Structure 1
Amino acid sequence: MKGKSDMWYLWMWMVYLLLLFCDLSYCCGSAEYYITGECCPMCSPGEHVYKHCTEYTSTSCKPCTPKLFMAVPNGLLHCITCTVCDPGLGLKTERECSPTSDAVCGPLDQHYCTEADHKKGCRLAQRHTICRPGTFIRRNGTLLTNTECEECRDKTFSNKSSSPFCKPHTECNSEQKETTKGTKTEDTVCENMPVRSRFVLFGPFIFLALVFSGLSVKFCKERNNPCVPLHSTYRTPVQETQGTDNGP
């Protein structure tokens, strides 16, 4: 008999300890919240508690005011403040805040997200890198990745920011001279040579041509033979004399 009394006493202590450490909120239904000894009905999404329930009245709810929201059933006295998409953080509003959902932010134009939240969108963004002169855009930036730049290769240049490609250096022609060598940021500069410079460059060839022509004419005169093409149809004076002597 005494053993049964001890078991009953132990069981009562266990129930007491369970009730002592039990959070009464867990004893309420899934659509209720515990407050001041009562299990009150929760307010719907888009609303907050205006007055808690009592033994005789139900919960009184009130809609969220602008710039506030409540996404889930709740027993809170205040709605939650909407997220502000701050341009100073490189953000813009992708989806406006509503009574039942928070605002969703995204990166500004020419920006990419550096801190993303799959529920709230982007929390921080930075501007795409601007490819400086002497480089070109290897890969355009996206909403999640930065722009990639690459330096111009040999004999090419770009003199503007964010160039899609590098241009080849200009090659000076035979009547020009290179005054400034091309770099990765500047093109080659060519100038037309003045007449005197052209004469200095081509004068020896012209002089040799004139001398050769003069010697040819002098050689023909010394031989008393006019300079005619090899395949000329004219006869030489000797041929004409021979034709006269053999006449009738």
Structure 2
Amino acid sequence: MMWQIMWHLWMWMVYLLLLFCDLSYCCGSAEYSINGECCPMCSPGEHVYKHCTEYTVTTCKPCTAGSFMVLPNGLLRCITCTVCDPGLGLKTDRECSPTSDAVCGPLDQHYCTETDHKKGCRLAQRHSICRPGTFIRRNGTTLTNTDCEQCRDKTFSNKSSSPFCKPHTDCQSLGLQEITAGTNTSDSVCATRNDPCSRVAALVPVVLVVVLSPVIGIFI
């Protein structure tokens, strides 16, 4: 009775082994299974042109331009190379080769907002422009945006992408009269204290108010 049990166990083990070999086709690590045959894989940079048969080996062909294959394989086609689209703010940092994909990076004056550890940058945006009234606190890089900061009190910048803010002219220290106060985008306007032009300039707003007030009242 015992030997019958052992026999059945042995038969089940043989059956499972055969089943496993049938499922995996018992191919080696450098082979792939197709149509019940274990065919030699093609090398990186190649793809299968014709599968092997009982009497022939695998026929391989090099990857065509615009495609690649990194690993030994049993595939009929190579993988299409990544295209670095300028519309997404990208440029090609490394060209595609038969054995490696292209690697993308951000265009000049752009920074990467989405990355892939294999394909490099996937999406990039243009660096921010620091407008008048601000200055560049930190220049943008391929990974970070430009950092802009507002001009502090009594300073200004009247151009975009200024590296620093300039202090307002101190009219009093120059012995002059301030006729227009400085803002964060413009300097103070000074004039000599006895300059008739400065007095006229100071009276212009008052005259405009006096003249225009009746007209505005009529329309209201």
What CA distance in whole angstroms lies between the structure 2 residues aligned with 1:6 and 1:175? 116
What CA distance in whole angstroms lies between the structure 1 residues aligned with 2:160 and 2:112? 23
Structure number with greater CO (CA < 8 Å, separation at least 6) is 2
Asked if 2 retains the 8 angstrom alpha-carbon contact of 1:24 and 1:34, the reply is no
Query: 1:245 is matched with which residue?
Result: none
Query: 1:184 is matched with which residue?
Result: 184
Larger radius of gyration: 1
Query: 2:73 is matched with which residue?
Result: 74
Q: Answer with 141-150 or 83-92: which moved more.
A: 141-150
Q: CA deviation at 1:25?
A: 3.7
What CA distance in whole angstroms lies between the structure 1 residues aligned with 2:22 and 2:188? 82
Counting aligned pairs with the same residue, the percent is: 79
Letter in 2 for 1:144: L
Alignment of 1:112-131 (within 5 A): 112-131=111-130
Say if 2:29 is the partner of 1:30.
Answer: yes
Q: CA deviation at 1:119?
A: 2.2
What CA distance in whole angstroms lies between the structure 2 residues aligned with 1:112 and 1:79? 31
**Which stretches in structure 2 are left out of the alignment for 5+ residues?**
199-220
Q: CA deviation at 1:109?
A: 0.6
What CA distance in whole angstroms lies between the structure 1 residues aligned with 2:74 and 2:196? 97
Query: 2:13 is matched with which residue?
Result: 14
CA 67–7 in structure 1, closer or farther in 2 if over 3 Å, else same: same
Q: CA deviation at 1:70?
A: 0.9
Secondary structure, in 3 states, of the residue corresponding to 1:48?
strand
Secondary structure, in 3 states, of the residue corresponding to 1:27?
coil
Q: CA deviation at 1:177?
A: 2.5
What CA distance in whole angstroms lies between the structure 1 residues aligned with 2:150 and 2:25? 64
**Which stretches in structure 1 are left out of the alignment for 5+ residues?**
199-248
What CA distance in whole angstroms lies between the structure 2 residues aligned with 1:24 and 1:104? 38
Q: CA deviation at 1:47?
A: 0.8
Q: CA deviation at 1:195?
A: 5.1
Alignment of 1:230-245 (within 5 A): none
CA 196–132 in structure 1, closer or farther in 2 if over 3 Å, else same: closer
Asked if 2 retains the 8 angstrom alpha-carbon contact of 1:25 and 1:39, the reply is no
Alignment of 1:188-199 (within 5 A): 188-193=188-193
Letter in 1 for 2:178: E
Query: 2:50 is matched with which residue?
Result: 51
Alignment of 1:140-159 (within 5 A): 140-159=139-158
Give the ranges of 4+ consecutive aligned residues of structure 1 lying more than 6 Å apart after TM superposition.
none
What CA distance in whole angstroms lies between the structure 2 residues aligned with 1:27 and 1:98? 33
Q: Could you give the per-residue CA deviations for residues 79-107 of structure 1, whole angstroms, max 9, x where no partner exists?
A: 10000001111110001111111101001
Say if 2:58 is the partner of 1:64.
Answer: no
What CA distance in whole angstroms lies between the structure 1 residues aligned with 2:100 and 2:134? 45
What CA distance in whole angstroms lies between the structure 2 residues aligned with 1:33 and 1:47? 15
Secondary structure, in 3 states, of the residue corresponding to 2:53?
coil
Asked if 2 retains the 8 angstrom alpha-carbon contact of 1:89 and 1:125, the reply is yes
What CA distance in whole angstroms lies between the structure 1 residues aligned with 2:197 and 2:186? 26
Q: Could you give the per-residue CA deviations for residues 133-165 of structure 1, whole angstroms, max 9, x where no partner exists?
A: 111111111111121111111110111111100
What CA distance in whole angstroms lies between the structure 2 residues aligned with 1:125 and 1:195? 55
Asked if 1 retains the 8 angstrom alpha-carbon contact of 2:25 and 2:38, the reply is no
Alignment of 1:187-226 (within 5 A): 187-193=187-193
TM-score, reference length from structure 1: 0.73
Q: CA deviation at 1:11?
A: 2.4
Query: 2:106 is matched with which residue?
Result: 107
Q: Answer with 66-75 or 14-23: which moved more.
A: 14-23
Asked if 1 retains the 8 angstrom alpha-carbon contact of 2:25 and 2:37, the reply is no
Aligned length: 197
